[in-house]
Structure formats: C-alpha cells, structure tokens
Amino acid sequence: MIRRTALLCMITLSTLSCQGQNNFEGNEPGECSDRADNDADGLFDCNDEGCLGAPDCQQGDTFLPGMLEDTPSCDAGDEAFVRKVVPQLWGRHPLSLVEVELLSQIIEQSSRQTLVQAMMRSHRFQARWHEVLKDFLQINRVGERTGMGCSSSMSESESHASISDDLAEFVRDAAPDGEPYPFSWSLTELILSSLALDDISPVFRAHLFTQLGSKVINLDNPGANVAWRGVYADLFESSYLNRRMGCLACHNSEYSVTDAADPELDRTWQVPGHVEKALYGDSGGRPFQDLAAYFRVEGVLDMRFVPEGVTPALFWDLGAEGFNPWGMSSNCGTFILPEDIQPDCPCAPASYLVDPTTECPCPSEAWEGHFIEDTPDRPSIWHLERWLRGGFDRLREGGYVVADDNSVDGEEAFAWMVAMSTAEKVWTEVTGRKLTTPHFFPRNPYQRDLLQYLTEVFVDSSFSLKTLVEAAVLHPYFNPGMPDQCDNLESPYYLAPVFNPWVVEHETPELRLNNPGDAVERLPPRALLGALSSAMDWPDINSQIETHEHNDEGTPIIGSGLTPALEFEIDIGIYLLDGETGFRSSNFAEALAWEEALGACVNPFPLDEEVVDDWIDLLVSETPADSTLEDLVLTLKDRLVGRPVFDHSDERALIEALAMEPLDATVDSLPAAQEPLRRVCSGFLSSPDFLIAGAPGDDLSGTPVPIAPTGSSTTEICAQLVDELFANGQASCTGTGAIQL
C-alpha cells in the first residue's frame, strides 16, 4: 500500500510540475524550455518554428503508467488537444477555429490542466457527463424499465440550474434509513448535485435502490419473480463490478487460464488484490443465485397490485406505504425497511404479497445470499448499500490496502471494484478503447498499469469524476502526435499496446506496438448529437424522446411504436434501454441512418412539424450580397469542423460539384443560397472531420474566417468563454478579443 501511494504521489507531483507551474521568461530569446514568449513575437516559443519538436516543448512528455519506458513521446500539439478535449468535456465540437484559438491561449498562458479544470466548471460539462454517468449505470431512457420518471433527462439549460452540493453531501454522510432530506429528489438531481460536490459515490449507493425501483411491470407468476433477480444481478455485475460470475472459474484476480510465468506469454495482467475472493469467498466465484438473492424485488420494493383487466397487462405500481431512502421521490421507488421485510417465498406468485397473512407454500426454498459474508436471512439491496457505504468510507480514510498474500477487506474490495470499473469506463468514453478484454482483465502490463493508475487517482480524490476525467485527458496517450510532428521519432509505432493489445503477436516486431491511428475512433454518439444540435442551432433531440406513451389515466402503454427521434438514436448507437445498449464503432447501418436523417441538412425532428430558422438561415441572412458562395462554404465548414480552408487542391472542385453552383458566384446572384449550402452541409456532417476523433490535422491558427454572423465574432466568443470558465477577475478579453489570464 505504501509503495503504491508513494508512486502515485510522485507521478502526481511530476505532472503538476510539468503542466501546472507558472511560466517564467528565460534568459535568451528563442529559448524552448520554459514555454514562454522570450522573443516577444506573440507566440510562445514552443510554437515558434525553431522550437517545434524540441523535447522541452513536448507538453505531456512526463512518463505516466501505461506508457513505454525509454521511448520518445510525441504530442500532437495544443490545437489538436483542444479539438479533442472539447467534445469529451462539453459534448460538442468547437464552434469555430476562433474558439480553438481562444482555448489554446489559456494553455499558452498557463497549462492544459488549467484549461481542463476551467472547462469542467462549465454547465456544459454537467450536461454531458450526467448523461454519461447514466449510461455507466445502464439507466434506461425508454421502455418498461424507465420507472416513473426518477431518471428523466434534463436539457442543458435545466442542468445549468443552481443545484447545490447539499443533497449529495447529505446522501454521502447518511444511512438510507435515517432522517430524510428536507425535499424529495430524483436520481438526476442527485447526479447533478454529486457533480457539484465532486464526489459521485452517493450516486452508486442510491442507484442500488432506484434501479430496483425502475421495475413497474411484472407477470403474475413465480418465474418472473425469480427472473428479475437474475436480471438485476447481471446489471450489477456489469455496471458496478465489471465481472461476470460465469467467467470467474477461468479468469480472476488470483489466476487465469491465460496466465503464464513468462511475461512474453502472459495474456492476463491482474491489478493486485484478490477482490473476487473477498466478495464471494472464492476467487473462482460461487453459484450465481447467492448474488441474485440480494436483488429480490417482491417484498422489498413496496408496490400495489393492479389486477388483470384494469390495465393491458398485470401491473405492479409503486406503493405509498413504504419508506423513501434518504427522502428520495416516490417515483424512484418506495421500499420496505429491512426489519419489516417478510421471509422470502420464491415459489409463490407475486399476488401472494397482496395478502401478507397468507402462508408461504415453500418456506424451505427461501434464497440465501453470500456477498462479502453469508446472509442467510432475507438478503436485499439494504445489505449491499451498507457494505458499499463502508467500503467508500474505508478507502477515503486509509486507501486500498492489499496484504502480502494479496488478501483484501471485503468492503474495500467492493468499493475498489466500483472505482476500477468507473475508471475504465471514463477512459473508454474519452478514447473509445477499453483497458480490459472480454474476460474483464487487462491483456498486458501497460493496460494494467494505466487502469491501476486511473483507479488510484479516482480513489485518492475521494471519487471525484472531474479529477478522473482530468487524469484521462491529460495522459500523453490522449493526444499522441504523428511522426512528422516530432523529430525524435523513428517510427509511427511508438505507443504501448493499450489501444490495440492484440498486435503483440504480429510477425513483424515493429508492428507489435500501437501507433496514433490505433487511437482514432468515432466520437461518442451522444457527443455527436450535441455537436449537431449546437452547430446547427437545432433543439436537443433528447428532449423529444418520450419514455413511453401513456393512456388517459397515465398508465404506460406497453408496445407503443418507436418515434422517429427514438429510432434514430438507437440506430446511431446511443444507449437507451437494456435491449439497445448502444455502440461506439462505425458501421454501415449507422452510416445509412445518419445519412437518411441528415442528408438534407435540415432539422430532421422538428417540434410539432414547425420549421424554425437555424444557423444556416442566420448565416445567409447576415452575409453581404457581394460575398461569394465560397465564403459561405468556408464559414459553414468552420462552424461544423473548425477548418475554414480547403484542405487540398481537389476539395474545392469536389465541393463545387456537390453544391451544384459555382463557388465564385456572389450571394445576390444565387436564387436561394441556402440550397447549395445545405447540400454542402450534408457532406460536412458525414465527413471524418465531424464524426471521428483522434486524428490530428494541420494547425490552422491565424486562418481568417470569411464571415462572422451574430455570436461568432472573436470578441463575442471571448466574452462568452471568459464568463463561462472563470470567476470574476480571473480572466478578461483584450481589445482584439484575445483571452488574458
């Protein structure tokens, strides 16, 4: 434990000294080592031609776990970093090259760490990451398991509302069966409050209850009763533990069938600590029923039975006599207190609970549980919450302690596995690549070291999502450069195999490492939707997703059809429900759905069929009559992908063919400038520049944008960023619209 903590402290201090210190002028103009502007030419010296590629200018050149030792590092540069980090933190692309330049100025005057921390103070970070956390927890947005609105989505403006950290602090410090919070609350509100507190551990504890409360419909038969226990246990394994009981016999933290004494042949690299043994009593696991016993629904979740004929199916509605943990809304579920839970009766139909005086026909078949310890009497989620609370508290107080024999305390192991699962999910979200293979363990020491490092960062920060995201995006492998950007590289294959671990057996030794191309991935689909709505000034598509249709009494109508917006979100890979768990990769069906919805570059899902003006309408209306179609096209390209230039000689001709109008035509000579512009727009929206993250392009700083419609000028964007990112007096805009810290 002492060794790992010392290593983390050393890594953290080295990172801060490299990226967080003040900039001081050097003694000689042109000096590359201090990230200053010694020759006073308006560029920090590392951006001057004579310093490009210098080792001292490689921000992110500090060694961190997951990297190859004794191998030169290469960074893609500040502009590439900004282009990559904005979609991950804010869920949209930069809205102009101007915004890229302004955010880069913050780095030049301070550090990437300063920029990232400032961006995470924005409401845009909350709007994006509160939805990402719901995906991590597999919270359904539509369908039967959405419950009664406990996890309803909030728009960006709603998430910007002043939700304080009081609620999350209350849940963190209190037991669920104690005095309630003064006001009822939803899980969405708790997530936003936890982001404000910068400790998301309350979310994991409360979700144990709200997940069980999401079940409102059930057939009146014992099989359904038992089946739901297995469903929730499966969800718990994947969203909390990143394990599967059926795999533990072959792969666990103590041993694996793909282990080998020879490191060159070892294909399973476990993080230290026999965590499965701490939870299940045996590293190889135990009968799945011993875990599923804690997810009993009937008799734990307080519900009222609606008989057949009143609704289209037998319906269990949330009752009104139960207890609301921490004072949560009844829409999140009401529960029977532990001391009042009746003995388990798995063979009886659900309607048996309508009359609690009825004798159970199979008392000997009551399920017993084992998780950390034997629970022979009425196991339930109340036990899991108590153990998780204890684990979080122990990690805060003393860290993760692994004994010499690799044994771990059960509660610590529980909280550590939740932290490790979250750390990997965050890395996967920002890079598109997992750190474990399908057997839930890293395949090489680099993946293991990076996973352990991120987990320790998360735990040592008291479960701060912001600190974890910061560690992920500031890792040098988040922004790897191409060989032509760094003179010290002899090959593009200079990255440890953390993105693609399968290359280590390639017949060509050089190709057994990763290259920056392995880090290229489609943007998260939620970020793509955000980029689309923000750039085009279209309404948020998520706000148009109904959980399910209701009848006049408010009862969900089972089997109601898909709305076009819902079908589109499913097609492009957004997680919505258990049967549509989403995807990140590109595929033919996804590309066709994207093209079908956006081929005309008009809002595909207008509210009430009403078509309102969007950003293209604004651009055309404010463009001088003597401007050319080329000016419009380059301004639109800047808006969508931040590149107000034609990237190669053929692009202009191809764009002209797509527009079906000469690009040198003036606006006043075109019958309708929007039509060719929207044809070009559809091409930009389907381009790799819009859809893909990870490939650094040429730096374009200083390239003028032909037209600046309302809200797009340098001074306007600067004022907005200063207001959004910094407290009063911490930054200002100069007369030319530059950010000054």
For residues 410-427, give the mean pLDDT. Answer: 99
- The three-class DSSP label of residue 186 is coil
Q: What is the pLDDT of residues 481-509, one digit of tens each?
A: 988 888 888 889 999 999 999 999 899 98
Across 458-477, average pLDDT:
98
What is the pLDDT at residue 37? 44
pLDDT band of 307, cuts 50, 70, 90: low
Distance CA 330, CA 350 (A): 21
Position 16 pLDDT exceeds 50: no
- Banded model confidence at residue 214, pLDDT cuts 50, 70, 90: confident
Residue by residue, what is the 3-state secondary structure of 441-459? CCCCHHHHHHHHHHHHHHH
| Eight-class DSSP state of 732 | E
Contacts of 580 (CB under 8 A, 6+ apart): 570
pLDDT tens across 101-130, in order? Answer: 999 999 999 999 999 999 999 999 999 999
Confidence of residue 510 (pLDDT cuts 50, 70, 90): confident
User: Rounded mean pLDDT of 280-294?
Assistant: 98
Residue 599 pLDDT greater than 90, yes or no: yes
Task: Provide mean pLDDT across the span 623-648.
Answer: 96
What CA–CA distance (Å, rounded) separates 731 from 333?
46
Q: Work out the pLDDT band at 309, boundaries 50, 70, 90.
A: low
Q: Are 284 and 418 in contact (CB under 8 A)?
A: no
Residues 86, 530 contacting (CB under 8 angstroms): no
Number of residues that this document lists for the chain: 741
pLDDT of 96 higher than 70: yes
Kindly state the average pLDDT of the residues 463-474.
98
What confidence tier does 607 reach under pLDDT thresholds 50, 70, 90?
confident
What pLDDT shows up at residue 155? 54
* pLDDT of 371 over the 60 cut: yes
- Poorest-confidence range of 51-60, 141-150, 415-424? 51-60
**What confidence category does residue 253 fall into, taking pLDDT thresholds of 50, 70 and 90?**
very high
Residue 731 has pLDDT above 50, yes or no: yes
**pLDDT value at residue 242:** 97
Q: Which sequence spans correspond to the domains of the chain?
A: 1-57, 163-431, 615-710
The structure tokens 């003995």 sit at 343
Higher pLDDT pick, 221 / 315: 221
Distance, in Å, from the CA atom of 276 to the CA atom of 347, rounded to the nearest integer, reads 30
Tokens read off for 129? 């990451």
Spatial separation of the C-alpha atoms in residues 224 and 230, rounded to whole Å: 10
Q: Which residues contact 185 (CB under 8 A, 6 or more apart)?
A: 167, 193, 327, 328, 329
pLDDT for 546: 53
Alpha carbon 501 to its chain centroid, in Å, reads 22
Is the pLDDT score of 347 beyond 60? yes
CB half-sphere exposure, 221, CA atoms < 13 A: 5
- Is residue 39 over pLDDT 60? no
* Residue 547: pLDDT over 60: no
Q: Binning pLDDT at 50, 70 and 90, where does residue 470 land?
A: very high
Please check whether residue 740 is in contact with residue 731, taking contact to mean a CB–CB distance below 8 angstroms: yes
At residue 571, does pLDDT exceed 70? Answer: yes
Average of pLDDT values for 699-722?
Answer: 95
Q: What is the pLDDT of residue 213?
A: 86
Looking at residue 25, what is its pLDDT? 32
pLDDT band at 14; cut points 50, 70, 90: very low
Q: What is the Cα–Cα distance from 130 to 357, expressed in whole angstroms?
A: 44
Tell me: pLDDT of 388 over 70: yes
Write down the pLDDT at residue 52: 45
Cα–Cα distance, 472 to 721 (Å, whole number): 23
- Contacts of residue 196, Cβ cutoff 8 Å, sequence gap at least 6: 126, 163, 164, 165, 168
Residue 108 is predicted with a pLDDT of 95
* pLDDT, average across residues 46-61: 48
pLDDT of residue 305: 60
Q: pLDDT at position 728, please?
A: 82
Cα within 13 Å of Cα(486), Cβ side? 26
Inform me whether the pLDDT recorded for 321 exceeds 80: no
Query: Residues 386-406: what's their mean pLDDT?
Result: 97
pLDDT of residue 32: 55
Question: Any idea which residue has 């692994």 for tokens?
Answer: 402
Are 307 and 122 spatial neighbours (Cβ–Cβ below 8 Å)?
Answer: no
pLDDT interval class at 2 (50, 70, 90): very low
Given a cut of 50, whether residue 6 has pLDDT beyond it is no
What is the β-pairing status of strands 692-693 and 521-522? Answer: antiparallel
What band does 292 get if pLDDT is binned at 50, 70 and 90?
very high
Interstrand relation of 303-306 and 739-740 (parallel, antiparallel or unpaired): unpaired
The pLDDT of residue 308: 52
Q: In this predicted model, which residue has the larger pLDDT, 546 or 410?
A: 410
Pick the more confident residue, 22 or 726: 726
Residues 56-83 have pLDDT tens digits of 444 444 789 999 987 888 999 999 999 9
Question: What is the pLDDT at residue 337?
Answer: 95
Q: What is the pLDDT of residue 229?
A: 94
If you average pLDDT over each of 8-12, 485-489, 619-623, which comes out highest? 619-623
Cβ-based burial of 372 (10 A; exposed 0-12, middle 13-18, buried ≥19): buried
CA 164 remoteness from chain centre: 22
Mean pLDDT in the chain?
86
Is the model more confident about 30 or about 333? 333
